[in-house]
Structure 1
Amino acid sequence: MKLRLSIVVLLMSMLFLSACGKKEIEGAVNWPVKDFSATSHDNKPFSLKDVKGKIWVADFVFTNCADVCPPMTSNMTKLQKMVKDEGLKNVEFVSFSVDPTVDTPEKLTNYAKQYGADFHNWTFLTGYDQAFIENYARDTFKTLVKKPQEGDQVIHQTYFYLVGPDGKIKKSYSGFKDVPFDEIIDNIKTLE
């Protein structure tokens, strides 16, 4: 009887302890983020080392965007506020311009201010060429960026990407419509 009770207690303890382990994000893709060299909205060099060891949320936008970028940037502003309200630390936001020849640091700063972006932990990037951002988006984030020969509208997808402190993309979410804000916050908490 004592042996049976000891085994039950041992099994219960093991189950309890295994439940206390680090949670994982369901459906995590774990794509490694490749290094990049860019210029921030405040005209300073910015690269992967600037977000090393941090949790960050990335997206791809441009200042002349006529349709999807304004709601995406507004949604990112909402997410940034939610992160602050939840008291989550060590979380950064990074917006890559998909139209770097047009989007100067000054233009990005003015654009971000229109949406109430908090520059304390949100950086807008430019300073690379069009071929770089198209290839980088495809190879690292598995997303489409393409500037047509004619017109000023760049084709790009509308996702937010969550990157863990290990430098790997964990998950992508709609950044345009039906943004799963609560899921993103929960996933950030999982990575803390």
Structure 2
Amino acid sequence: MKKYYWISILISAMLVLSGCAEFEAETDWKVRDFSYMNQNNEEVGLKELKGDIWIADFIFTSCETVCPPMTYNLTKIQKQLKEEGINDVRFVSFSVDPEVDTPEKLKEYISNYEADTKKWDLLTGYDQKEISSLAEESFKVLVRDDPSSDQVIHGTSFYLVNKEGKVVKNYSGVQDVPYEEIVSDIKLLKKPYE
């Protein structure tokens, strides 16, 4: 009996090591329909992102604290994905200060980073109420004006969205960013489609 136990453990380990691991979603949040303007004055919405894996976050160009490191961290993820030969993941940064963040401002902001903007949409073209509602409903995060400053209070997570438009996992976007885990999760999420 003991012999069969060890054989089954060995077979299980071999299956995991041979790449039979599957992506396990931690969340199942449907992203509601949207269509906004990106930094190139192009309409980008859920329809255009359907069929792509994407990573979303919430930022604004005059942010004095968390946004610059978050954007830098996303560029690092983008580079790691490229090194792994994964070039089809999209990045979507929603501005939480849309009245200030015009497409031109967003374009200028992202130009300060080593980002591949062909696969990165920085979105605006809505009002504060709209982005607060989208953030809360689809990403389970609060976006609020800070009454004591010109800053906006918002979450600092990165959200992994599958090809069907569902948020399946989120990660820290500022400190202790799990780069390897994110790349590994994307590889696993892509597997069924290869």
Same fold (TM over 0.5): yes
Equivalents in 1 of 2:181, 2:148: separation in Å?
38
Query: 1:55 matched to which residue of 2?
Result: 53
Query: 1:4 matched to which residue of 2?
Result: none
Task: Write out aligned runs for 1:29-178 (5 A).
Answer: 29-178=27-176
Amino acid at match of 1:61: I
When the two chains are superposed, the root-mean-square deviation of aligned CA atoms in Å is 2.2
Equivalents in 2 of 1:150, 1:44: separation in Å?
34
Task: Write out aligned runs for 1:177-188 (5 A).
Answer: 177-188=175-186
Query: Contact conserved, 1:59 with 1:161, CA < 8 A, in 2?
Result: yes
Residue 23 (structure 1) aligned with residue 28 (structure 2): no
Provide the identity percentage.
50
Q: Return closer, same or farther for 1:158/1:80 CA change in 2, 3 Å cut-off.
A: same
Query: Contact conserved, 1:160 with 1:172, CA < 8 A, in 2?
Result: yes
Amino acid at match of 1:92: R
Deviation at 1:21, TM superposition (A): 6.0
Deviation at 1:65, TM superposition (A): 0.2
Equivalents in 1 of 2:44, 2:120: separation in Å?
12
Deviation at 1:115, TM superposition (A): 1.3
Equivalents in 1 of 2:76, 2:37: separation in Å?
24
Runs of at least 5 residues in structure 1 that lack an aligned partner in the other structure: 1-10
Cα displacement string for residues 124-162 of structure 1 (whole angstroms, at most 9, x for unaligned residues): 000011000001100100001101345210000100000
Runs of at least 5 residues in structure 2 that lack an aligned partner in the other structure: 1-7
Q: TM-score, normalised by structure 2?
A: 0.86
Query: Contact conserved, 1:29 with 1:170, CA < 8 A, in 2?
Result: yes
Matched residue pairs, number?
180
